[in-house]
Structure 1
Amino acid sequence: MSTENKDINTEKDIVQENIEQTENLTQEETLSAEEQLTIQLAEEKEKFLRLFAEFENYKRRTAKERIELFKTASEEVMVAMMPVLDDFDRALTELEKQGDSDHLTGVKLISTKLNDTLANKGLTVVEIKAGDDFNSDISEAVTQIPAGDEMKGKVVDVIERGYKLGDKIIRFPKVVIGQ
């Protein structure tokens, strides 16, 4: 009997061992399913974060492009208005020479109103006067003329005024410099 008991105990042990292995496999399958779900969740979170970041970059980029578009459109209008500003300056100079105060007053009012309107939109004059040092970064030398030592390398005359739109020079002033 003792051999039979051993065999029965051994069989019981084998059955018990098989049951434990089956339970372990089920737990391992459950853990691996949980791990798989955790991995999938992490992947989906990463995809979501990347998509969100890409969308935020898209919004910033389009906002920047829109601002640049408005600046560019404004710049084109300002460049188109510059010959009109030059004509007003020439007209004012000629009317002052003639001494026609009635016409001079009207043209000055219109010129002032136009200049103020454009200044409100960001257009400013690049200030350069005769006697200033020549700076090639903010002005364009049209020609050089012989001048005394005190005017060497300095602006002798401003031929055409320059304009800035914000911080960008959209037309460089054309100047004559002393040599």
Structure 2
Amino acid sequence: MNQNEEILSENNEAVTDNVPANEAAEVKPDAKEGDNQAELAKVQSELAEQKDKYLRLYSEFENFRRRTSKEKLELIQSANEQLIKALLPVADDFERAEKSFKGTESKDMEGFFLIYTKFKKTLDQYGVKVMEAGAGSEFNPDLHEAITQIPAPEEKLKGKIVDVVEKGYLLNDKVIRFAKVVVGS
């Protein structure tokens, strides 16, 4: 044996000579087991906390994704709202012109009616609908704007629409212009 090996063997014998074998074996595993259990409990609590944070973050992200997709869909559906609102007076003018030309039948009017029909089809294509508000129907403040009240000509017209001054319009079931009506009192 060389000198280093002899010194190591002497040190090992000295350490084992000072502590009885059964005490050394009992002390070390109990201390390690207690430490391991405490560390395991700590790691498990940290894991549970991290899982909770993950679930909360995931659900928050899912809510954000749903909300964003809903907003995009609404934006797409109502993207042309301002343009359509600007074109509604043109539709009113077409209707007034059509009423004034009703009695006259002429080849010159044919082009006008073709343009008006195409204009109505284009509005329909983009989801614009005329609000159904005729004389005798119920007044609904969510859809109609009462510009005046007059004494009802008949008892059955009290609280109902007597006349429609300006048509209302819906864009994808959203009111973009309220119908202006006269209500019987």
Q: CA deviation at 1:147?
A: 4.5
* 1:169 alignment counterpart: 175
Q: CA deviation at 1:93?
A: 1.6
* 2:15 alignment counterpart: none
Specify the code of the residue in structure 2 equivalent to 1:53: S
Higher share in helix: 1
Is 1:125 aligned to 2:126, yes or no?
Answer: no
Identity of aligned residues (%): 45
Q: Whole-Å Cα distance in 1 between the matches of residues 49 and 141 of structure 2?
A: 57
Specify the code of the residue in structure 1 equivalent to 2:47: L
Structure 1 stretch displaced more, 30-39 or 81-90: 30-39
- The alignment partner of 1:169 has SS state of strand
Counterpart contact for 1:157–1:176, Cα < 8 Å? yes
Alignment of 1:127-142 (within 5 A): 127-142=132-147
- TM-score calculated relative to the size of structure 1: 0.78
Counterpart contact for 2:78–2:171, Cα < 8 Å? no
* Root-mean-square deviation over aligned CA pairs: 2.6
Q: How many residues align?
A: 168
Unaligned runs of 5+ in 1: 1-12
Is 1:49 aligned to 2:55, yes or no?
Answer: yes
Structure 1 residue corresponding to 2:88, chosen from 82, 105, 108: 82
Provide, for residues 16-71 of structure 1, a one-character-per-residue CA deviation record: whole Å limited to 9, x for no partner. Answer: 24531221001222222333333333232222222222211111111122122223
Structure 1 stretch displaced more, 31-40 or 165-174: 31-40
Is 1:155 aligned to 2:161, yes or no?
Answer: yes
- TM-score calculated relative to the size of structure 2: 0.76
Q: Whole-Å Cα distance in 2 between the matches of residues 42 and 78 of structure 1?
A: 55
